[in-house]
Every structure is written in C-alpha cells, then in structure tokens.
C-alpha cells in the first residue's frame, strides 16, 4: 500500500477505499446467520476490486435472476469467489469472469456460480479445503440437511452449485 500511495496516490487511495469497504461489510455481517443476498454480492464485488489491485488481473462480475428478498449465510459466495481467484489462471486477455445465477423451483432454490478461467493444475487430489468446509458448515447451520453442494471443474473453468431444499 505504501508503494501505491507514494507512486500513484490516486490508485493507492482507491485500493485503501476498497479494502476499507470490504472490512466494513465483513464487520457488519460477521455475527449474522443469514444476510441479504445483495449484501453478499456487494461484498464479492468489493473483494474483486481489492484483488484487482493485488493480483493485477482484471475481474468481472455478472449476476442474473437474483431475488433481492433472498437471504443466505454470510461469506458463502465470497468463499467460493475466493477459491475461484486462488485456483484459476486468467485467459490470455488477463481476465477472469465470475457469474452468479439464481433459480427458484417448486422444491428448491439454486445458486450457480461459474468461474470462467483456466483451471490451475491439480497437484494432489483432495475433497476440498477450508473454504469448502466453511461453506458446508454454514449451509448445515442454516438449513440442517436440506442442501446440496457440488463444486467441480467444467469446460471453460469451474462450476459450483448450491441447492437449498424447501422441506
């Protein structure tokens, strides 16, 4: 941060502002069991702003079908986003795109999160790390056993699906 402030004060100020916004959001949701999905999306967008500075990679966010009245466990999508940042390589144009979609059926609601990038080479097969454990713990805390979580490589990147069943 010091280098940015000294070498490019405008960029340094933008980075500090984005980091402060992310901390503010994290602080406001840290003790909540459920938060509005739009607040989660705002956290994700703010995180992308911070990470663009840190990694010097362009990140784009898209969402579709989101119902503003929905609530989800805090930092759920943020954790999946962070996995996408950590385990993905940008395309030749230095871009990684993330898309969150929402679908409501008669029996469940579904969030689909796509990371459009190149997948890093897997050196050791494992069933998920701390991020996946966090996601599963928060889903269990809020929905008992009425959920399904699938996260896997897909053509063009990574696909994560969360289904939350009504009953």
Domain count across the chain: 1
Residues of the domain holding 98: 2-165
pLDDT of residue 8: 65
DSSP string for residues in 92-136 = TTSEEEEEEEEEE-SSEEEEEEEEESEEPPPSS--S--HHHHHHH
- Give mean pLDDT in consecutive 10-residue pieces for the chain, a chain of 167 residues: 65 73 79 94 94 89 97 96 92 94 97 94 67 95 97 92 94
pTM for the model: 0.87
Q: What is the CATH number of the domain that holds 91?
A: 3.30.565.10
pLDDT of residue 18: 72
pLDDT of residue 21: 81
Q: Which residue in 97, 24, 34, 26 sits closest to 63, CA to CA?
A: 97
């Amino acid at each position: 941060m010091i280098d940015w402030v000294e070498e490019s004060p405008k960029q340094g100020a933008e980075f500090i502002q984005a980091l402060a916004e992310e901390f503010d959001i994290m602080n406001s949701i840290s003790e909540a069991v459920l938060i509005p999905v739009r607040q989660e999306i705002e956290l994700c967008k703010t995180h992308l702003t911070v990470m663009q500075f840190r990694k010097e990679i362009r990140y784009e966010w898209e969402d579709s079908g989101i119902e503003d009245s929905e609530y989800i466990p805090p930092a759920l999508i943020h954790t999946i986003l962070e996995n996408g940042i950590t385990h993905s390589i940008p395309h030749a144009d230095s871009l990684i795109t993330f898309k969150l979609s929402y679908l409501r059926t008669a029996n469940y609601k579904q969030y689909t999160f796509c990371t459009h990038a190149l997948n890093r080479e897997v050196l050791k097969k494992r069933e998920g790390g701390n991020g996946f454990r966090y996601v599963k713990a928060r889903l269990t805390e809020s929905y008992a056993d009425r959920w399904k979580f699938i996260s896997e490589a897909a053509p063009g990147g990574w696909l994560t699906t969360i289904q939350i069943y009504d009953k």
